[in-house]
Amino acid sequence: MSAEHSFYITTPIYYLNGLPHIGHAYTTIAADAIARWRRAKGHSVRFLTGTDEHGQKVMESARARGLEPQAHCDEIVEHWKAAWNKLDIQYDRFIRTTDDDHRAVVQRVLQKLWDADLIYRADYQGWYSVTDETFVTEKDVREGKHPDPDSLQQITETNYFFRMSRYQDALLAHIEANPAFLQPASRRNEVLGFLRQPLEDLCISRPRSRMGWGIALPFDEDFVTYVWFDALLNYLTGTGYHPDAEEPAAWRAWWPADFHLIGKDILTTHAVYWSTMLLAMGLPLPRTLFAHGWWTSVDGEKISKSKGNAIDVMLLVDEFGVDATRYFFLREIAFGADGGFSYEGFFNRYNADLANDFGNLVHRALSMTSKWLGGVVPPMGQIGEAEAALVELAGAAIVGFDEGVEALQFHRALDCLWDLVRAGNKYIDSTEPWRLNREGRTAELGTAMRMTLEICALAGALLPAVMPERSAALLASLGLTPAQGAELVTRLLGGAAPLAALTEGAPVVLGEQLFPRHREMPARIAALFEVTSAAPAAAPKPVKTPKPEKKPMDTPEEKVEDPTKPLITYDDFAKLDLRAGTVRTSEKHPKADRLLVLTVDVGEPEPRTIVAGIANRYAPEELVGRQVVVVCNLKPAKLRGIVSQGMLLAAGGQDVVDLVHVGADPGVIVR
Ligand code: MSP
């Protein structure tokens, strides 16, 4: 295996305190998509996923079910494996932190760090968050920065500490020198910000007397390993790593990992804890840590087990199919950004992109070829301007798809391909094969259908990464196997001419519709709204009657709101008094659920009162201390009885996605 063509990708390992939901499925689908793409390109791929089984959360879940933790995990893990199976996840190993080889790796690493005096024993007195299983600084508690203050307990105990602080400078230097290490760039800045504060040592043990479900410290049986220290090492266990392996060791083919995909909430544990652990072990850091955003409910809340607003991914798979589900998650939002999930959004995208654009193109190509051309691939006749334009677009789709997937910008990759799919539909509309057939212009009809079939073949070759099942069906209807599809990818990326994959005279088969149109929301999903409407906190937005159906030949309108406004002059812009501010207090508006009442310091003697429609996105306490941008000369307005003396700049429309942040003192002018 040549080093440049080996590819190692991981997902987080998931806690076994519940069942998979869309957040977990999302990372796993994304990792699977790029792993499949790399395999299609002929690379050696190792894709690792699995479960995080130790620690307090899992122990408490087991207890609540009256089971021993191991028995609980053995049972729940099967649901996770079944879910990944159902989502067509092709992992190379499913690791469990209770696996013997993993325990051995954790203990061996701990022993080595202890022997090297990189772990020491000391007393700790302070705050501990039970839900996060982390120690919390006095300052964070004082400033109310912890999102779940009820979970905080004061504890005093002896523990073991990893000399994390020693690696602060080396880590900073690594981040500065390797822009690709932390992605997207906003996350890199977040970590750099974090590292500007002094880095403390990391407590890596829990006394067995308090929390016994974990891997024993090899040098002190009275303690178990802190769950994160244990969990992060899974990425090495997954390569076959062993610290004492003879060189050249096989695991080195996979390390450093190309990508650790993670959610933004576990950035610090990865970027800081994991990196410093690797530095202490003398191992290279992963090439890229990519932190994606959160799926939120339509009212902007993170979807999670504890919030009870989970969306049933398996229901989507049952009703719309596995490929449509995978497609939606990768297409709907940019990997890295947050996005709101609604069943209605899913339904609309399914019908527009899959049933209308893609399914329709395939159906038209196959049915017209079957009906008028004897069901065989026709010869490519005279190439005109329209055909040349399609070939060019196909070339761009191949490059764009590859670049998009490699950059984990799946939405862009798919969009490039959909440009071609839509152009294929328009091409059919303008060449009017039905007229060519009627008029007996068989050669031109052949060319039109050949072009269209070639576009389908190209889509069938590119798409298995995202839609393995439907792509295989499509390729089969064109007489191609998945292996031939993958060979086509390699040829195309090697510069072969696009839209020249099929063999003249080869039979094509008109099968079932790839993505049958859903005229209404499937009953099992529609029923959810009736059930949950009694519980507004968890209820998804009621389904509006889906938009009037587009005629099959229409090109869909983009669903994006047009953000353009008439041009303004600089003088118009200069009328705005924009200033940096810091939120001092924040509380719910007594009369309106959507509104928060804030006081914001904008560098004046008294903070201003600002009423903001952001309660969909933020809990009041989250905002205290936050640096924002304020429009200070907006005419004061009374909002449900409270006068608002300005406005915060925010991203998003009605549903705020994020507040604009500047790292500047209150009152500093923004322009
Ligand atoms: N066990 C740790 C990870 C250890 S990795 C060495 C853990 N597990 S988790 O099950 O709680 O979460 C796993 C991942 O799911 C995280 O990356 C988290 O960001 C992601 N998601 C959980 N809810 C999510 C959404 N609503 N949306 C997107 N992803 C979110 O943390």
**What atom in ligand 1 is closest to the CA of residue 232?**
6
Ligand 1: atom nearest CA of 303 is: 26
Average pLDDT for 551-579: 55
In the sheet that holds 152-162, the strands lie side by side as 134-136, 119-129, 152-162, 202-203
Measure 23 CA to ligand 1 centroid, in angstroms: 7
The answer to whether the CB of 11 falls within 8 A of the CB of 27 is: yes
Q: What is the pLDDT of residue 526?
A: 86
Question: Residue 137 C-alpha to ligand 1 middle, in angstroms?
Answer: 23
Region at 19 (left for phi over 0; alpha for psi -120 to 50; beta for the rest): beta
Q: With a cut of 90, say whether residue 536 has pLDDT above it.
A: no
Cβ atoms within 10 Å, residue 304:
17
DSSP class of residue 285 equals P
Distance 337 CA to ligand 1 centre (A): 15
* Confidence at residue 305, expressed as pLDDT on a 0 to 100 scale: 59
Four-residue CA torsion sign, 14, 20, 25, 28: positive
Best CA proximity match to 265, nearest among 201, 193, 338: 338
Our answer on whether the CB atom of 232 is closer than 6 Å to any ligand 1 atom is yes
> Measured between alpha carbons, how far is 184 from 189 in angstroms, rounded to an integer?
9
Query: Does the Cβ of 313 fall within 6 Å of ligand 1?
Result: no
- Atom number in ligand 1 closest to CA 274: 6
- Residue 112 tokens read as 């080595």
For the Cβ of 49 lying below 6 angstroms from any atom of ligand 1, the answer is: no
- Kindly state the average pLDDT of the residues 302-325: 82
Per-residue pLDDT, 555 = 25
- Please state which of the ranges 125-134, 175-184, 435-444, 481-490 shows the lowest mean pLDDT: 125-134
Q: What is the pLDDT of residue 309?
A: 65
Distance between Cα 227 and ligand 1 center (Å): 14
pLDDT above 80 for 559: no
Average pLDDT over residues 373-385: 96
Nearest CA to ligand 1 atom 26: 303
Tokens of 213: 């479900």
Q: Comparing 145-159, 425-439, 487-501, 566-580, which segment has the lowest mean pLDDT?
A: 566-580
Residue 554: pLDDT above 70? Answer: no
| Ligand 1 center from residue 27 Cα (angstroms) | 8
Report how far ligand 1's centroid is from the alpha carbon of 25 (Å): 10
Smallest CA-to-CA distance from 263 within 345, 188, 334, 338 is with: 338
Q: Tell me if 228 sits within 8 A of 272, measured CB to CB.
A: no
Please provide the DSSP assignment of 86-133 as one string.
Answer: HTT---SEEEETTSHHHHHHHHHHHHHHHHTT-EEEEEEEEEEETTTT
Q: Is the peptide bond before 248 cis (omega within 30 degrees of 0)?
A: yes
Dihedral, CA of residue 172, residue 173, residue 178 and residue 184, to nearest 10: 10
Say yes or no: CB of residue 24 within 6 Å of ligand 1: yes
For residues 327, 330, 331 and 334, what is the CA-based torsion angle, rounded to 10 degrees?
180
| Whether the CB of 335 sits within 6 Å of ligand 1 | no
Ligand 1 binding pocket includes 301 (Cβ within 6 Å): no
Which of 28, 262, 301 is the pocket-test mutation for ligand 1 (most atoms within 8 Å of CB)? 262
Q: What is the mean pLDDT of residues 118-134?
A: 85
**Cβ of 27 less than 6 Å from ligand 1:** yes
With a cut of 50, say whether residue 373 has pLDDT above it.
yes
Report the Cα 256 to chain-centroid distance in Å: 22
Mean of the pLDDT values across residues 59-86? 97
Three-class DSSP category at 261: strand
Mutate to test the pocket of ligand 1, among 9, 52, 79, 657 (most ligand atoms within 8 A of CB): 52
At residue 443, φ and ψ (nearest 5 deg) are -65, -45
Q: Per-residue pLDDT for 71 more than 80?
A: yes
Q: For 415-425, what is the mean pLDDT?
A: 98
Which of 49, 84, 233, 266 has most ligand 1 atoms within 8 Å of CB, for mutation?
266
Cα 273 to middle of ligand 1, angstroms: 16
- Ligand 1 binding pocket mutation candidate from 9, 14, 61, 278 (most atoms within 8 A of CB): 14
Confidence (pTM):
0.78
Q: What is the rounded distance in angstroms from the CA atom of residue 249 to the CA atom of residue 137? A: 41
CA-closest residue to ligand 1 atom 21 = 23
- 296 CA closest ligand 1 atom index: 26
Q: Which residue CA neighbors atom 24 of ligand 1 most closely?
A: 23
Residues 133 and 229: their CA atoms lie apart, in Å, by 12
* Distance between CA atoms of residues 300 and 655, nearest Å: 7
Answer whether 227 contacts ligand 1 (Cβ < 6 A): no
Across the chain, how many H-helices and E-strands are there?
23, 24
Q: What is the pLDDT of residue 1?
A: 41
Tokens 């519980």 identify what position? 535
- CA 625 – ligand 1 centroid, Å: 26
Query: Average pLDDT, whole number, for the chain?
Result: 89
Q: How far apart are CA 78 and CA 620, in angstroms?
A: 39
- The token pair at 337 is 């950004």
Strand pairing of 205-207 and 578-589?
Answer: unpaired
Q: Quick check: 560 pLDDT over 80? A: no
What is the SS3 assignment for 303? coil
Q: For residues 145-162, give the mean pLDDT.
A: 88
Confidence of residue 639 (pLDDT cuts 50, 70, 90): confident
Residues in Cβ contact with 377 at an 8 Å cutoff, skipping those fewer than 6 apart: 369, 450, 453, 478, 479, 502, 503, 504, 505, 506, 507, 508
Positive or negative, the Cα torsion across 568, 570, 576, 581? positive
C-alpha to C-alpha distance for 48 and 11, rounded to whole angstroms: 7
d(CA 256, CA 402): 22
| Ligand 1 centroid from CA 21, angstroms | 10
- Locate the ligand 1 atom nearest the alpha carbon of residue 12 and give its number: 5
Res 307: pLDDT? 61
Ligand 1 proximity of 226 Cβ (cutoff 6 Å) = no
Q: Is 84 left (phi over 0), alpha (psi -120 to 50) or beta?
A: alpha
What values do phi and psi take at 287, rounded to 5? -70, -45
pLDDT over 60 (residue 547): no
